[in-house]
């Protein structure tokens, strides 16, 4: 039997750093971005799943 572990993330909570692949449709280019990059720039980040 598979066990699932879930954790609730609330507004204002810190989350672990992660890196995701991105796509820019206007140029057709792929790239990568990390949460740490946004933190260093002082940018807000909204995650939608």
Q: What is the pLDDT of residue 19?
A: 94
- The domain spans of the chain are 18-42
- Pinpoint the alpha helices (H) of 1-49: 35-41
Half-sphere exposure of 11 (CA within 13 A, CB side): 2
pLDDT for residue 7: 77
Cβ count near 1 (within 10 Å): 2
Q: What is the pLDDT of residues 7-44, one digit of tens each?
A: 788 888 888 899 999 999 999 999 999 999 999 999 98
CA distance 47 to 42: 16
Measure the CA–CA gap between 24 and 30, rounded to whole angstroms: 6
**Confidence label for 6 from pLDDT (cuts 50, 70 and 90):** confident
User: Which pTM does this prediction carry?
Assistant: 0.57
């Amino acid at each position: 039997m598979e066990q699932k572990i879930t954790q609730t993330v609330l507004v204002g909570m810190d989350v672990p750093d992660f890196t995701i692949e991105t796509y820019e449709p206007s140029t057709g280019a792929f790239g990568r971005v990390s949460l740490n990059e946004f933190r260093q720039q002082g940018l807000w980040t909204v995650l939608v799943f």
